[in-house]
């Protein structure tokens, strides 16, 4: 089978290459899936370049030779003991907890890493959903929050780094829940698209005069752009902020701020405002998310589709901020 392989760390276009590999076979509790589409995520860039947190587990060479996690395809074989899927089933899911392997024509994964793909959901959209839409869904606190007239109704939401996959889904889900959404994205060329998704205010930065000065009930920082102290200053009483990404330094700052905010209010005036990291659970909410997408209530902004051999170049584009929404690869 064709696959994009990774044997050393470095810039994606230098260290990733197209190769022929033996087609994997499923073991007990596993399924083999012929991949129709796979989307790219920032953590694919981290795995390829050997980012700091990646090297804590694999300091000298990549742990996984084939990366890629968000896939959609068809089950072509099942191992012993598999009960969730059968040969011929259309499935999709996020494979980061199941060995990765998505940048290939066939992948083997645990059966619980995949969920059924609704007939009304196309493969490109299905591949775009798993990581990004799940993170947005969980950061917003799920079905009750994003339901019409739900917990987000009338709330003010700020999405920082709104032009990627998580941000574009978060805007739509928050608006579905009735929130007032401000989308911040430093790439000016993406702003019209974010407004088209329903964002009430779009801006290239926090404090550039384009966004309202009223405090926010919820801040989603997708890229770790804001220091926690600044984020706390943007929050209304009782508000919270969820950091979804960021540098190791920013993550450490958020952890410190989160611990500090947990102290008694007598010692920390802003204790009613919470800042923390999102601990996303893969695949848990995909059936509900897929139902919205299949019903036309959630749209994936797709960059592509691109051929498999372009994965290195598309990861370089993603790393540079040149992708709006989700870059998706389609396999023939």
Q: What is the pLDDT of residues 157-187, one digit of tens each?
A: 999 999 999 999 999 999 999 999 999 999 9
Can you name the residues that pair with 94 across neighbouring β-strands?
70
Terminal-to-terminal C-alpha distance of the chain: 12
How distant, in Å, are the alpha carbons of 222, 277, 284 from that of 256? 18, 11, 28
Residue 209's pLDDT is 53
Q: Which residues of the chain form beta strands (DSSP E)?
A: 2-6, 16-20, 30-39, 70-78, 90-94, 106-110, 115-116, 156-160, 180-184, 201-203, 216-221, 235-243, 274-277, 302-306, 326-330
Give CA–CA dist 17/271, Å, rounded.
49
Question: Reduced to 3 states, what is the DSSP secondary structure of residue 220?
Answer: strand
How distant, in Å, are the alpha carbons of 30, 129, 218, 313 from that of 81? 8, 28, 43, 39
Query: How are beta strands 180-184 and 201-203 bridged, if at all?
Result: parallel
Residues 145, 146, 152, CA angle at the centre, nearest 5°?
Answer: 55
Confidence of residue 270 (pLDDT cuts 50, 70, 90): very low
Confidence of residue 238 (pLDDT cuts 50, 70, 90): very high
Give yes or no for a contact between 243 and 276, defined as CB atoms under 8 angstroms apart. Answer: yes
Count other Cβ atoms within 10 Å, centred on residue 61. 12
Torsion sign, CA atoms 282, 104, 121, 192: positive
Residue 211 in this model has a pLDDT that exceeds 60:
no
How many residues can be counted in the chain? 332
Give yes or no for a contact between 287 and 115, defined as CB atoms under 8 angstroms apart. Answer: yes
As a 3-state breakdown, the chain gives helix, strand, coil percent values, each rounded to 5, of 35, 25, 40
Q: Residue 287 is encoded by which pair of tokens?
A: 């059936």
Residue 289 in this model has a pLDDT that exceeds 60:
yes
Query: How are beta strands 30-39 and 326-330 bridged, if at all?
Result: antiparallel
Residue 268's pLDDT is 44
Residue 228 in this model has a pLDDT that exceeds 50:
yes
Query: How are beta strands 180-184 and 156-160 bridged, if at all?
Result: parallel
Confidence of residue 208 (pLDDT cuts 50, 70, 90): low
Average pLDDT over the chain, rounded to whole? 94
Give CA–CA dist 194/162, Å, rounded.
8
Maximum C-alpha span of the chain: 63
Rg (CA), the chain: 20
Count other Cβ atoms within 10 Å, centred on residue 165. 32
Residues 6+ apart with CB under 8 A from 230: 206
Residue 105's pLDDT is 98
Give yes or no for a contact between 90 and 121, defined as CB atoms under 8 angstroms apart. Answer: no
Can you name the residues that pair with 276 across neighbouring β-strands?
242
Domains of the chain: 2-128+300-330 (3.90.180.10), 133-277 (3.40.50.720)
pLDDT (tens digit, 9 = 90+) per residue, 12-60?
999 999 999 999 999 999 999 999 999 999 999 999 999 999 999 999 9
DSSP 164: B
Task: Return phi, psi of residue 238, to 5°.
Answer: 85, 0
pLDDT (tens digit, 9 = 90+) per residue, 102-140?
999 999 999 999 999 999 999 999 999 999 999 999 999
How distant, in Å, are the alpha carbons of 81, 135, 178 from that of 149? 43, 21, 6
Give CA–CA dist 126/60, Å, rounded.
34
How much is the average pLDDT of 231-237?
95
Give yes or no for a contact between 140 and 173, defined as CB atoms under 8 angstroms apart. Answer: yes
Percent of the chain with pLDDT over 90: 91
């Amino acid at each position: 089978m064709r696959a994009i392989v990774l044997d050393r760390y470095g810039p994606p276009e230098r260290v990733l290459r197209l190769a022929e590999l033996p087609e994997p076979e499923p073991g007990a509790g596993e399924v083999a899936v012929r991949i129709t589409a796979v989307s790219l995520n920032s953590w694919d860039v981290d795995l390829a370049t050997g980012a700091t947190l990646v090297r804590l587990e694999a300091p000298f060479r990549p742990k996984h030779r084939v990366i890629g996690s968000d896939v959609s395809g068809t089950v072509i074989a099942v191992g012993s003991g598999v009960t969730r899927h059968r040969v011929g089933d259309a499935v999709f899911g996020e494979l980061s907890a199941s060995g990765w392997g998505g940048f290939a024509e066939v992948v083997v994964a645990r059966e619980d890493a995949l969920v059924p793909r609704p007939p009304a959901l196309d493969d490109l959209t299905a591949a775009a959903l798993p990581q990004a839409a799940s993170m947005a869904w969980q950061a917003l606190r799920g079905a009750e929050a994003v339901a019409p007239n739900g917990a987000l109704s009338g709330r003010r939401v700020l999405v920082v780094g709104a032009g990627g996959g998580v941000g574009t889904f978060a805007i739509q889900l928050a608006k579905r829940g009735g929130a007032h959404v401000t989308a911040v994205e430093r790439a000016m060329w993406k702003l019209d698209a974010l407004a088209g998704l329903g964002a009430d205010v779009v801006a290239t930065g926090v404090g550039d005069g384009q966004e309202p000065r009223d405090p926010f009930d919820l801040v989603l920082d997708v890229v770790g752009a804001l220091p926690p102290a600044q984020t706390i200053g943007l929050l209304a009483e009782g508000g919270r902020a969820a950091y979804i990404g960021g540098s190791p330094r920013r993550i450490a700052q958020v952890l410190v701020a989160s611990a500090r905010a947990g102290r008694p209010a007598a010692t920390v005036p802003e204790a009613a405002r919470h800042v923390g990291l999102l601990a996303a659970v893969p695949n848990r909410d995909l059936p509900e998310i897929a139902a919205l997408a299949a019903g036309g209530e959630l749209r994936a902004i797709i960059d592509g589709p691109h051929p498999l051999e372009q994965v290195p170049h598309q990861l370089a584009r993603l790393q540079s901020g040149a992708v709006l929404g989700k870059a998706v690869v389609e396999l023939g």
